[in-house]
Structure formats: C-alpha cells, structure tokens
Structure 1
C-alpha cells in the first residue's frame, strides 16, 4: 500500500462512510496510473486539506449531457463551415481565411476537449491521468485563445477596410499577409499556453474533477501572476481591440447613412426646381462632397439640371436616378467595399 492510501485510511475515522468508499475508489484508480504524483492522486478525493463536496451521480450525468450538446453543436457548425470552404473556391478570399482559422480552432476545441471531459463525466471521474490533464488544459487553452485572437484580428481588418480604405479595387489583405497573421496568432497563443508547462503556473484538475485547466484555485505567486498576465494580454487587450474597431465602424456607417440621406435630398433639389431648400440638411456634409457640384454635360454624360419641376416624367426620373448613381459610385469608391476592399457596382 502506498503513502497516499495509508494517509486515507489514517483519516478515515473523521469521514462519513460513503465518502471513505468513494475516496478509496478514486485513490486506487489514481495511483494505478500515477504512483509518482501523490498530489494529483489525492485531488480525486481531497483539496486544500478538506474533503470535496460530493457530486450526485445525476449531477455528473447532467454535466455529461451539457458537454455532449455543446460538443456536437460546435463540431457540426464549425465542421459545416470548413466543408463549405473546401467545396466553394470563391469563399477562399484572404479575409475569409481568418474566419476559417477561427472555425478550425473552435472545431479542435470540440474534438480535443469535449470528448475527454464527456467520457470523464460519464464515469464520474477523470480518466486520462496526469499527461491527459496537461494535454486537455493545454489544447483547450490554446485553441480558445486562437479563436479569441482571430476574432480581434477580424474586427481590426474590418475597421481598416471601411474606415481607412486604400482605394478602389485594392485591399490591405493578401494571402501572404493572412498567412503571416495566422502564424503570428498561433505563436502568440503558444507562448502563453506553454508557460504553465514549463513552470509558470500549471494545468490542474478543476471543479468536479472531470476537466483540467490553469490552476485558478491555487493562490500562489506563480499562479496569481500568470492569471493576471493572461487576463491583460489574452482577454482584456483583444476585447479592447474589438470594442474600438466596431465602435469606429458603427460611427462610420452611421455617418455614411446620414450622408446618403442628404445626397438623395440634395439630388432631388438639383433636378426639381420646386423642391424646398429647407428640406435638405447640408451642414453635416463635407464641403468637398460632389453634391455641391452642379452636374454638367461633360461630367455626367449629358445629364442636365432641369429648370422646371418634371420629376414625375419618366425621362426626368431616369436622369435623377443616373445622377444619384454617379454620386453613390463616387462615395463607394472613396469608402471602399467591406468585402476585401473590392468595389462592386
């Protein structure tokens, strides 16, 4: 009998009978696969010198059902995205490669993480030993961070495409740049997820002992400093990038919405002499806007301003629509398209 089992028997008189039986069952299973790690074996029945609260078997089964539902949903949805990219070549644009990278990371979480925790929940204990615990914690930590950092990169690229476009028919992203971005994402995430393996914090069992993660519950200097570091660099920083990018994007879209509303109004003024000047708000429009330029035959291919209110006639309506299309194209060319910077008319 090893040291851990002897310690359990020595303390058995202080525990309820059912707890002793459950604890001994876990000790025997734990020491079978990890005799050299007494701490890890003891976690199956004891933590911080006190017995764990017993989890009813119905509770384990409920957890197993939830894990299975999340795993199946994640596998099917992200697997469908990957299949669509494989089937339709036109989807494989540089920008969409970032979306594919995020879907692959989420798919790997379902495959590498949910399967192990589901099996452990069904058996009411961790089945995979200390190496399996480290792998589970590392894989879930890595692919979860990859998904989050990819989301931050996607939001920033959308912000650049709309708010700071390069020009018509051009894009910030190329396949080479996307490849470098994905490599950077994985290297950045690998840096933070391998640190617990080499000694800064560690991966340990958590909760009802059917999954592993960073040692959140241990209040040592190593664990506390690592948790603070990943909170700032791997959660707070990406979150701030996402918030900043989408706030700027929302403001730009709101500004262009008001711009197009004024464009339609002022275009009607140019072609309808009876339109009221007060119906148009030009104060918010940029002074270099083409709305302030009267259309002439050279610039708009023969489109002339009407001196009489003829907006109800078919010809004048067509002329008005052509003029609006001219202004819309000018604005879209300036703003660039959200989809990879390509202008679509």
Structure 2
C-alpha cells in the first residue's frame, strides 16, 4: 500500500511570492490596450484620430512656432518678404497684450487692476490648498471684504481717481462678469431650488415662474434687454452703469439654470435623510444646512462646474452691448491699420481660445479633484 504521507508531500507549507502581472496589462501598453484598443470599434476610432492628429498637428506647429513672427513694431514684421512663408504674428499679441488684458484702462493706473488680480489669485490658491492656515477667515475675506476692495481699486473714489467702466476691457471684464455671475448665482440658485420644492404655494409659484422665465430666453436677449430696454422703464434721470446691468442680467440668468441643477441633487437624496433629520429634532433650515444640502451639492458638482464653465465662455456675449471682454478686445484691435495683415486675425483668435481653454480646463480638473476627494471621505 502506498504511503499517504508521500502522496501529500507536494502541499506547500508557506505562501509563494505572487508573480507580477503580465506586461500587456500594466504600464503604457496596458493602458492603451484597455482604453484605446479594447475592441475593434475602439481600435478603428483610435487609428482614425491618430491619422487626424498627424494630418493637423504638424502644420499647426509649423504655423504657430516655426514660421511665426515673435518680434516687431508694426505690420511690416508680419508681411511675407521674398516668398517667405509667415505664420502666426505673435508680435501683434505682444504689442497689444496690455489691451487684451485690461482694455482701455489708463496706463498709469494699471497697477490697480493688477493688484486686484494678484489678490484674487492668491486668495483662490489659498482656498484651493487644504492646509492653508486660517482658511476659514480667508474664505470670509474673499466673500465679503474682497469684492468691496476690488470695486474700490478698479472704479476709484475715496482718494483714488475714478475710472469709468467704459474704459474697462479685456480679460479684466471677462473675469469680473464671470466671477460675479458665479458668486451671485450659486446662493440664489440654491434658494430658488428650495423655493421650487417648497410646500408654500406662493413661494413655489414665484420660484417656478422665475426659473422658467429666465430659462426660456437666450442670454443675448437678457443682455440686450438689460442694456437697451431697461433704461426705457426707469424714471427720467435714473440710470444704471452698463456693466452693472450686464452683471445683474448674467447673475439672474445663471441662477435659473443653477436652481435646476441643485434641484436635481435635492431629488437624488433619499427620503430617509429628511426623516432622519426630522427625528433628530432639526428644523427645516438646520436640516438643509447640516444634512441635505451638503449631500446634494456633492452629487451635482459636475453640473455646477459645467454651468460655471458655460458662464465663463458666454461672457463674450457682452460685446453686443458695447462691453469689450477678452474676445471683444482682440477683435477690436484687428482694425488697427498699423497691424493690418492677414495673419493677425487667426493669431488673435488662437490666443483668445488658449486663454479660455486654460481657465475652463483648470475649473474642470479642480472639480474632478474635489469629486475624488469627497468620494474618498465618504467611503471612510
């Protein structure tokens, strides 16, 4: 008879060191196989896109960098000479950079908007970094004192020379309209979303009418009404600044869309959360502030950021009412006879597109970071 111990001698008495995963599933090769060539359709689409990139990218690089003109004082620098191929006219952007950023703001006073932008950038960076000391106090400063400080520095008064908003322009106007719209539309949108879900008929009807009215018209119509039609309904001698009218119109328009985004988050919260808040003896506003809204806003972060990005791009529409944002300032400088060449228009548009892309991409990436952070904390 065979010894049983000899039959079981192959049993391992300790764990073996696990083998590394196949090379085809890790690294760049594994990522490409999983994301770009996971099926026949994906492989075909990937190859077509690669062919498109190979067809478009080299000519663009040659136009934007190799054949580009980087220095010059006038249009002569960007005109072809002796059959020379001329690409982008970055000399035009360098010459007009101050106007692209600040419009017609007086040159000797440009330290004021530069100081405002510097404080805003530092404050935004401090709020984005989680370990910033006194982050709560910084948030309070940025939402209360900073807007007043920024208006005083930009407009003037109280010892500073007044600069009318008609002289503002460029990226400055884009940031003023976008930031004001973002800051004002979020709390107003939350209140409208709560009002639409209210059990009080009057509040619900007012909220519904407001939301549907503003969502039913395009932003260009809102800006036109705010700039042209609104003064007709005001008493004689009463008038509002054109930029202020645009800010109010943009904020109200964006708030209506924000309300529907937030309402979607509120509807996604299970009924048990509301019942749990009531069982703890919390009132309506306490339960909303402490339990419901934090969860709802976390759910709709992509929708909120999407509204912010859309608003940032839509600021270019203020050009129709005589306000020159970044894109408007770029287009206005095309009429400068000193720089009139065929290459300045595509160069200016590419420059404006790059600025818009940087801001929009930054907002998108930060929102994704916040989503991952909140999901990790929720899993804990």
- TM-score normalised to the size of structure 2? 0.23
More helix by share: 2
- TM-score normalised to the size of structure 1? 0.24
